[in-house]
Amino acid sequence: MKKAVVLFIVVLFTQLQSAELKKKINDFFVRQFNLSLKSDLQAALFWSELVTSPLNQYLQRQNFMFASEESKIFDAKIAQASQLENNLQTVQEILNLLEFNLKKNNFPLISSSLKISEFKKRLELFQTTIPEDGVVLKYFFEGDKLFVFKINKKAINIIELKNSFRQIEELIQRLCRSFEDYNSGNTDFFHIYFDLEAAYHLYEFLIKKIIETEKPGRIIIIPHKILFAFPFELLVTGFNSSKAIDENVIFSEYRSATFLIEKAALGYAFSLFEIFRRFPRSEYNHNMTLISVDQSSLKQPALSKLKKAKAEAQEIEKIFRNGNLVTLSGTEATKKNFQSALQSSRFVHLITHLYSDKKENSVRLLFAKTGFSSEGELISFSDLKFSSGRSEMLFLSCCQSLQNYFLVNDYFHELLFFFRNNILRSTALSFWAVNEFHGELIYEFYQNIQQSSDLLVSLQQAKKTMITANLNYRQLKYSYAHPFLWANLCLYFLYNPFSY
């Protein structure tokens, strides 16, 4: 009994020490960012990446522990760096220790190294691949301040936005409230409301001053914290009062708004470290593999039925029927076949359930169980991370695959481990519950892909088509201009979005 108590105290003390060191490392990153702001924007960008990237997310995990000797060395070096304000040698020694520790813990380093000089070289090479109409916007909250790094072909600038974190948070909460109400069942499709005013103010706060003079055609957003909670596409850039409300068309009032997606194609990235890399071109056995997990035939009573899954699969089959398509459903929709598809197909479209297990700190996907006719199994991203895939895009047609807690909590690093190890160029994710109308956007997107290999522009054109269209539903006419109907899906890039 005494041994158990002693062991518990030792473990608790080690955890407290580890938590304290994690905070010191994070504070060290932030301090170096503030020091670099005065003289070296490239270095400031490097330090902001260390604060916001999956690397730091991994470090801050509750179950990540530093060995006792490592803690002492880190502690001493950080103290030394604090006393010697610009001692680059000491700073690099801390980064070398961190890199060694991460490699020892099998963390797949996204950057080739944690050397500032190497980062600068990769940044300059990346800039050469950005098109003339392209820009990357990396957001970074430091305390109550919000900074934006603007990176284009010719320059790097940093803008400090004057609005506080609290102001931005309140606007985002206003913007997302209706979608959260829909997800929780507090409202239905017929009564869902979108706050155009909040969307316009967010545009003014977050992006207007940064892009209004250049008017870029392609924008890659690297969000931070609460900015992961919504798609920038639905930000409102202005209003056109000449677009009259049609009393016979529900949601026609949203036609008066001009949305950011109508001005530019938008994509996202989790960090610069990832999109520095060029995706290796591959030869594929198949253009598309469609995997539809037929949940109605599997023994998973706790999961609700996937709406319109069958119709979604049938429409995709029509689009790709002459384009080297493989369809896997029923007992063939297994983990093994999914992993094989990632290795052999240019695009993989997965229709299934995504289940968040907060107790296990894990996110799981539903697959058919290999060798069983009617059983399903929930597979975590951790179990899929070594599939050795090389697809250009994985389309996760799952409810809320980009939901708030999924990105800001421990699930974030698990998702990135999976993407990183599978050499996926991009992934299509959803912000809120997949509704029965989202299929229309998918079909438009895939139709466009048949004509162009540019994923960014293909998705933009699909959304613009939706905004101007109407739909007939239960003997009523609706306008697709409501962002709930077209803004749910987004593209996250894991490799350079501009170049192979």
Phi, psi of 273 (to 5 degrees): -50, -35
| Buried b or exposed e, range 254-273, using 16+ CB within 10 angstroms | bbbbbbbbebbbbbbbbbbb
pLDDT of residue 294: 65
Could you give the CA distance from residue 138 to residue 431 in angstroms, rounded to a whole number? Answer: 20
pLDDT of residue 404: 47
pLDDT of residue 15: 46
Query: Mean pLDDT, 10 residues at a time, over the chain (500 residues)?
Result: 40 52 84 88 92 71 67 80 72 82 64 79 95 95 92 93 86 83 70 89 93 89 89 93 79 92 94 88 86 68 63 86 84 88 90 74 79 74 70 82 50 68 82 72 90 91 92 84 88 90
Could you give the CA distance from residue 131 to residue 462 in angstroms, rounded to a whole number? Answer: 22
pLDDT of residue 8: 34
Q: Note the residue count of the chain.
A: 500
Distances (CA, A) of 415 to 215, 336, 428, 475, 480: 33, 18, 13, 41, 31
pLDDT of residue 329: 85
Alpha-helical regions (H) of 84-194: 88-104, 116-129, 165-184
pLDDT of residue 151: 96
pLDDT of residue 257: 94
Per-domain residue ranges for the chain? 2-110, 123-273
